Structure 1
Amino acid sequence: MPKVRRSRKPPPEGWELIEPTLEELDQKMREELYDYCLKEKIADQNLIAKWRKQGYENLCCLRCIQARDTNFGTNCVCRVPKSKLEEGKIVECVHCGCRGCSG
């Protein structure tokens, strides 16, 4: 799971006192979201299992990570981080319409 995002500026005084609490609350929130999605059958159980893995927290659908469904035998274009794409290029998944779920 990704850590709490920080900017390049040094954290404010006392940050080290609240950081563990913020990380704990983030973990609880994610667990409650997973449980809610399973209970309400909002998302596929396999998709929810992927959400728990690092790098797949924002995965939109399982087809985007299946290499057999792509032209070049790799992941879907929506899984490419935006920092690795050309500036100004708009990307959209041909399967689900996602515009970038890699983060």
Structure 2
Amino acid sequence: MSTNLQRLSKKAPEGWDEVLPTLEMFENRMKDAVNESHEGKRKHESTWPIHRIHYEKSRYIYELYYTKKEISRELLDFCIREKVVDGNLMAKWKKPGYEFLCSLAAINKGSTNFGTTNVCRVPLRLRSGKITPSVVTGCISCASCDKGAPIWWNSNIEGRAGGSKRAADAEEDEEVEKRAAMLRGEGGSDAKRSRTGDTLD
């Protein structure tokens, strides 16, 4: 059975065959994330993996064109036109201050209680109290000054390659870490007990 991506092969420009296996891997991960059980998760937590995979797939094509210069403009435009990747998110990455924006949902002021952007847009050094992920996207930080790439709910902050020194020094609240471990599928009874915590809302 052919996938939607394989069906696009008939009209795809040169270079498509090189990116197709990686794009199919992202599609398979997305299907798994969509079909994953929501049991024990809060309303938005089930969408966190979807935001991350959506970011990673778009970033893969973005970097192939803008950073590595390994694909043609024609292939980039084809991927955007066929909605293989998110052209609007890519357009934001070209603007100062939005180079590592995790999701357009993070800057949608209508999705927050006070009409502001999500907490992940606030640099870690300017935050007080607990360092927690955005309730909407699961991103801990995608502020450009924290450098590197978004720090996601399931990132190993301390050992994260290319991560912010500030992020490595930040102390995560113990309960947040337990919930993150549960979402990563780690831990036993501690992770299960943390499901009743209220630190991410």
Q: Same fold (TM over 0.5)?
A: yes
Q: 1:91 to 1:52 in 2, by over 3 A?
A: same
Q: Distance in 1 between matches of 2:115 and 2:106?
A: 11
Give the match for residue 89 of structure 2. 47
Greater CA drift, 38-47 or 90-99: 38-47
Conservation of the 8 A alpha-carbon contact between 1:91 and 1:100? no
Aligned AA for 2:142? C
Matched, 1:97 2:135: no
User: What TM-score do the two structures reach when normalised by structure 1?
Assistant: 0.59
Matches within 5 A, 1:1-103: 29=67, 39=79, 43-86=85-128, 89-102=130-143, 103=146
Q: For 1:99, what is the secondary structure of its paired residue? A: strand
Deviation at 1:32, TM superposition (A): 6.1
Unpaired segments ≥5 residues, structure 1: 1-27
Flag the 1:43–1:83 CA change in 2: closer, same or farther, 3 A.
farther
Please state how far the C-alpha of 1:95 moved relative to its aligned partner.
1.3
Q: Distance in 2 between matches of 1:96 and 1:37?
A: 25
Select the structure that is richer in helix. Answer: 2
Q: In the superposition, relative to structure 1, how do residues 59 and 30 fare at CA in structure 2: closer, same or farther (>3 Å)?
A: farther
3-state SS of 2:140 partner: coil
User: Whose relative contact order is higher, 1 or 2, with alpha carbons under 8 Å and at least 6 apart?
Assistant: 1
Q: C-alpha displacement at 1:44, in angstroms?
A: 0.8
Cα deviations by residue, 1:25-58 (Å, 9 ceiling, x for unpaired): xxx517669x687638663110000000000001
Distance 1:71 1:31 in 2: 41
What fraction of aligned residue pairs are identical, expressed as a percent?
Answer: 43
Q: Which runs of 5+ in 2 are unaligned?
A: 1-65, 147-201
Distance in 2 between residues matched to 1:31 and 1:94, nearest whole Å: 35
In the alignment, residue 29 of structure 1 is paired with which amino acid? T
Gap change, CA 1:67 and 1:30, over 3 Å in 2: farther
Q: Which has the larger radius of gyration?
A: 2
